[in-house]
Copies of this chain bind each other. A is one copy, B any other.
Amino acid sequence: MSDIKRVVLAYSGGLDTSVILKWLQDEYQAEVITFTADLGQGEELEPARAKALKAGIKPENIFIDDLREEFVRDFVFPMFRANTIYEGEYLLGTSIARPLIAKRQIEITNLRDAEAVCHGATGKGNDQVRFELGYYGLRPDIKVIAPWREWDLLSREKLLAYAEKNGIAVEMKHKQGGAPYSMDANLLHISYEGRHLENPSNEAEEAMWRWTVSPEAAPDQAEYLDLEFEKGDLVSINGTPMAAHELLAKLNELGGKHGIGRLDLVENRYVGMKSRGCYETPGGTILLKAHRAIESITLDREVAHLKDDLMPRYASLIYNGYWWAPERKALQTLIDNTQQTVNGWVRLKLYKGNVIVVSRDSKTDSLFDMNIATFDDDGGAYNQADAGGFIKLNALRMRIASRLKK
């Protein structure tokens, strides 16, 4: 293993990646470069720096990067242009963050002349796939270290023992049985897996949820919200333009307040098993509903249906970790092409878990033609007799077949 001299570790500063850091130093005798990303997960990142320094990492080998704007602008928003949902329910909050982390990690290998990367994802989940497909797609000769697939610290007890033996600070919660859930958070969502959730016939505990109040605890007063879109992307809330990550943060705040965006799901992992996850995606839930609404008046029918037909495939690509694959990029060109006309505003009502579209319009791109749609006299804008021929020819093949049967 002596051929790896420098390794870039995706480092949160938590117990697991702290143990990994030490293990890399010991096992690989490698110089470790730590990379900690701010994706809006809502944690202080400076403690990670302190811990890294304490673990002997050189200051120039500690990367703490604020990726929030890039995350929302170049990953979350493009994904929402497709109204992306995995398996009918999941908004892909974890999946969409992994390609950015992988990208930055590879950039750092180039900056610091490292041969390897390392992540703390387990061998059972999707994240290892998402990270590593990103690594390999962006730097084909990269060496990947996935400790959970390599080491013998597979039980929590062994991990704690290793930490204590090596002087790694262990928070009280870990000593008391560990976090009740495996969690992941970023500006799009927070997820919960494991422990009490592992039996899908157990109801999730109210105390688990962190970002949203329950619908019951949400305000009794509904709140209206105006969202404006340009080329399919949200650009302002209630008339106030903001940076992409600020917009999503604002939607999270509003959604969280109104009990919006909780999800309890059994999903199919790429590695072949079913797993149960709970998710809070307050801002994303609002955004999806609004995006569909603005598309409903600005997008051509067949274009909308083409998008709907391709969406599950696009969602699976992201879920499975193929963001950097050429087929995802090809689909993205199609999706982005369709969003040129997706301009206008949507009015929503938020109330106790509900996101209700109440109106929508586009000054420049509305394809809704009141003259044609009206049930009242349309002054000849639409000739009802045309429908007769339309139906006759659409029915022709069925009539020929039906005649044959008799």
Contacts and interface: CB of A to CB of B under 8 A. Distances in A.
Report which residue of A313, A333, A361 has the largest number of chain B beta carbons within 10 angstroms of its beta carbon.
Answer: A333
A165 interface: no
A47 interface: no
Nearest to A132: B391
Interface in A383-406: 383-404, 406
A41 interface: no
A308 interface: yes
Copies in the complex: 4
A124 B391 contact: no
A264 B268 CA distance: 32
Nearest to A129: B391
A302 B326 contact: yes
Contacts of A383: 389, 392
Interface in A297-315: 297, 300-306, 308-309, 312-313
Nearest to A262: B356
A146 interface: yes
A204 interface: yes
Contacts of A354: 215, 352-354
A265 interface: yes
Enumerate the 7 nearest inter-chain pairs by beta-carbon distance, A residue then B residue, closest first.
A123-B384, A389-B389, A272-B396, A386-B389, A268-B301, A136-B395, A140-B399
Interface of A: 83, 87-89, 122-124, 128-129, 132-133, 136-141, 146, 148-149, 154-156, 182, 193-195, 198-204, 215-216, 220, 222, 262, 264-268, 271-276, 292-293, 296-297, 300-306, 308-309, 312-313, 316, 322, 324-327, 329-331, 333-334, 337-338, 347, 351-354, 356-361, 365-370, 372-377, 382-404, 406
Given A123-B382, A264-B358, A306-B331, 9 more contacts: A122-B375, A137-B398, A149-B387, A200-B297, A266-B296, A272-B396, A273-B382, A274-B296, A352-B353
